[in-house]
Every structure is written in structure tokens, then in C-alpha cells.
């Protein structure tokens, strides 16, 4: 349930979920934040987080509503549970073991899920850009370079 369903949110790398704590909100780990209006996943530890000596800010992603019952079950029924994904011995799943478990549950791995997500999310972007550029009388290259410089 939870392992497979977590990928209904924008899929992060396995390392992000491997470092996800249930109760500890220290900046050395990823954790949950139930402040403000919605429950969010806070990612403090992720690939490229400290590249080039520059620390990137935390990334916050809303937690999928349909998964809240699973999370509340873990928090309330297992108060000593430290990590979101851990084995029966209370040891954190490594990214590799989490990937194996995900593939057992879904039949596909993390990278395939990430690829599927981004393909679905941007499936119409090429068509939209072409239609807009044609309607405005210029090329797609001009539209991307001149009007939306921050994505090229």
C-alpha cells in the first residue's frame, strides 16, 4: 500500500524515501510536516542537495490524501517506529532494498515510475508549444529561447 502509493506524488529517488523519518524532524533526515493546511513530505536529504558547496533549500511536497490512513496507522500503532520504510528488525530499508520491494509490489522499479510520471505530465507540451508558436507566427525555437528563457 504505502510503498506503492507514495509514487502518486511527484516521484523522488529511493534515497529520499529511505531517509524519511516518522517522528524526528531534524534537518539531517527527511520527515513529515503537518503544519499549516496540509500534510507535507519535507526532503532535506536528496541527490544534488549539497553539490558545489551550495546547500539547496528543503523541498516540500504535499502528501497524497489517499495515503493518510496508512501513515496514521504507522504513527499511532507503531510509536517506536523511526523510519517510514523499515524492516521487521526496525532497521531502515536501504535505497536498494526499497527498490527491490517496490519492484515486487508493482512489477516496475523507481526509474520506470519516474519516467512514466514525467512522460504523462508533459505529454502535451510539445503540441501546445507548436500550436502556440504557429498561431503567433514564429518557430518553436524562438518561443523557447525568446519567451521562456528560464526553461532552456
Mean pLDDT to the nearest integer, 10-14: 80
Q: Which helix (H) or strand (E) holds 111?
A: helix 110-121
Q: Binning pLDDT at 50, 70 and 90, where does residue 56 land?
A: confident
Q: pLDDT tens across 83-137, in order?
A: 888 888 889 999 999 999 889 988 888 888 888 888 888 888 888 888 887 887 7
Are 54 and 65 in contact by the 8 Å Cβ rule? The answer is no
**Residues 137-140: contacts with CB under 8 Å, at least 24 apart:** none
- Residue 54 three-state SS: coil
Half-sphere exposure (CA, 13 Å, Cβ side) for 58?
16
Mean pLDDT of the chain: 81
- Please report the pLDDT score of residue 97 as a whole number: 92
List, edge to edge, every strand of the sheet that includes 31-33.
Answer: 31-33, 40-43, 59-62
User: Does 152 or 105 have the greater pLDDT score?
Assistant: 105
Does the pTM of the predicted model rise above 0.85?
Answer: no
pLDDT confidence of residue 148:
61
Report CA 8 to chain centroid distance, whole Å.
9
SS3 label, residue 83: strand
Share of the chain above pLDDT 90, in %: 5
Amino acid at each position: 500500500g504505502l510503498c506503492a502509493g507514495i509514487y502518486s506524488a511527484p516521484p523522488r529517488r529511493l534515497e529520499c524515501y529511505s531517509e524519511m523519518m516518522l517522528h524526528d524532524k531534524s534537518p539531517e533526515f527527511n520527515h513529515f510536516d503537518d503544519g499549516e493546511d496540509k500534510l507535507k513530505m519535507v526532503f532535506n536529504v536528496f541527490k544534488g542537495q549539497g553539490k558545489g558547496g551550495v546547500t539547496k533549500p528543503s523541498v516540500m511536497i504535499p502528501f497524497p490524501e489517499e495515503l493518510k490512513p496508512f501513515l496514521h496507522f504507522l504513527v499511532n500503532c507503531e510509536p517506536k517506529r523511526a523510519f517510514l520504510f523499515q524492516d521487521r528488525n526496525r532497521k531502515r530499508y536501504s535505497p536498494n532494498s526499497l527498490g527491490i520491494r517496490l519492484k515486487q509490489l508493482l512489477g516496475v522499479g523507481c526509474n520506470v515510475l519516474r519516467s512514466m510520471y514525467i512522460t504523462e505530465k508533459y505529454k502535451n507540451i510539445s503540441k501546445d508549444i507548436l500550436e502556440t508558436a504557429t498561431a503567433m507566427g514564429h518557430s518553436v525555437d524562438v518561443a523557447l529561447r525568446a519567451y521562456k528563457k528560464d526553461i532552456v
